[in-house]
Amino acid sequence: MCCCNKIKRKICQIALAIASGLVLLMGIVIVVLAAKVRQADIFESSDDDIKKTGRNAFYLMMIFACFGLGLGALGFVTAKWPKWQLVGCYSFWSFSIFGIYLAAAIILFGVQTYMDTLLKDYCKDSKIDSLLGTSSISKSLRDVDRVSVAYSSKYMCTRVCPCSTNISLPYWFETPQRLADYNRTAQTEVHNASIKYNSTYKGFTLTSNTTDAYTFFFECYDDIITDQNGNVSQIAEKLDDIGDSVVNFLQDMEMDFACNGICKPGLFWMFRDVNTIPPTSNCQEGIKDSFQEYSTSIAAALMISFFVTALAFGINYGLWRRKSK
């Protein structure tokens, strides 16, 4: 910004005020994005480690926002009273902060690119060793996968969670190996109805009583959890209670991306009607897209903050040069 040496100081002051306004605006934008991250369903998990990850991300973004807000305010003061002490202080902080913004944006873009590898590592070994401190996240992913895949495949359309006799059973027998993977090999039972099925229809408990039939697995899961909390259990094992926020996250994944399970889909949807064609794709892409919804916006905000802060630094440098003459 050496051109400032050739124009009046007043114009440089106005330019610095405008640039500082942009820095201040980006600080406000980062505050808004931080609030979105804080309210994200996945970070309101019942799991303390995921909550901690969400809180840390929120606090880090608030620090970035404070950098922008503080630097913007300092820029206005410097533009109004361009004393050499203020100009020097602004030069130091603007140079430091635009470096921090650039580094943070590059790291976030890198993590976003690496997300696919992280999920593949998890699906390969049921753990993530690629980054420090991610073992707790691996555990949380296993818990989520257990509810959305293992539990639904084990209990839906069984004596625990009977389905209606109106369901389209052929949906599940187009891929017999999937039934075998989840040990659904018991003979079909039909209650309260004089209906005969082909002997190949195995592993399903059906009822014509609509009050007993479940239309999707979450209904049954919620009933089991409610019974467990009241010290009454329909089954021998204790199911994990993943909490409302993670339930909302799973529902969003299922409805928005038509997926089920993190690594491989189960036999049944958690929230879709049992008469819907069973899930065929996992949620790796959905999770990446959900992560990118936040990370791309944050990284873009940091990059824009870097450019406007660098611009403010350059203009301030022009003021410094004029002061030194």
Q: What is the pLDDT of residues 276-292, one digit of tens each?
A: 888 888 888 777 777 77
pTM of the model: 0.64
**258 and 291 fall within a common domain:** no
**267 and 160 fall within a common domain:** yes
**40 and 166 fall within a common domain:** no
CA distances for 127 relative to 122, 140, 149, 198, 261, angstroms: 4, 10, 17, 41, 15
- Give pLDDT, residue 319: 65
Q: Which residues of the chain have pLDDT under 70?
A: 1-8, 40-51, 116, 125-140, 185-202, 229-234, 236, 245, 318-325
- Count of other CB atoms within 10 angstroms of residue 70: 15
Structural domain boundaries, residue 164 = 135-283
Q: Reduce the secondary structure of 254-277 to three states and give it as a string.
A: HHHHCCCCCCCCCCCCCCCCCCCC
**49 and 188 fall within a common domain:** no
Tens digit of pLDDT for each residue in 144-170?
778 888 888 888 888 888 888 888 877
Structure tokens at 300: 């873009």
Per the structure, the count of domains in the chain is 2
Residue 187: DSSP 8-state: B
Structure tokens at 100: 């921090």
**180 and 250 fall within a common domain:** yes
Q: How far apart are CA 91 and CA 81, in angstroms?
A: 14
CA distances for 217 relative to 48, 110, 220, 312, angstroms: 26, 37, 5, 56
Q: How far apart are CA 205 and CA 190, in angstroms?
A: 6
Tens digit of pLDDT for each residue in 183-219?
776 555 555 444 443 334 457 888 888 888 899 999 9
Q: Which residue has the tokens 């239309």?
A: 215
Structure tokens at 27: 């600080």
**118 and 12 fall within a common domain:** yes
**47 and 146 fall within a common domain:** no
**142 and 174 fall within a common domain:** yes
Q: What angle do CA 274, 275, 276 make, to 5 degrees?
A: 90
Structure tokens at 324: 């030194």
Answer whether 34's CB lies under 8 Å from 58's CB.
yes
**91 and 18 fall within a common domain:** yes
Answer whether 40's CB lies under 8 Å from 298's CB.
no
Q: Which residues contact 6 (CB under 8 A, 6 or more apart)?
A: none
Answer whether 111's CB lies under 8 Å from 295's CB.
yes
Collapsing DSSP to helix, strand or coil, 113 comes out as helix
Answer whether 16's CB lies under 8 Å from 315's CB.
yes
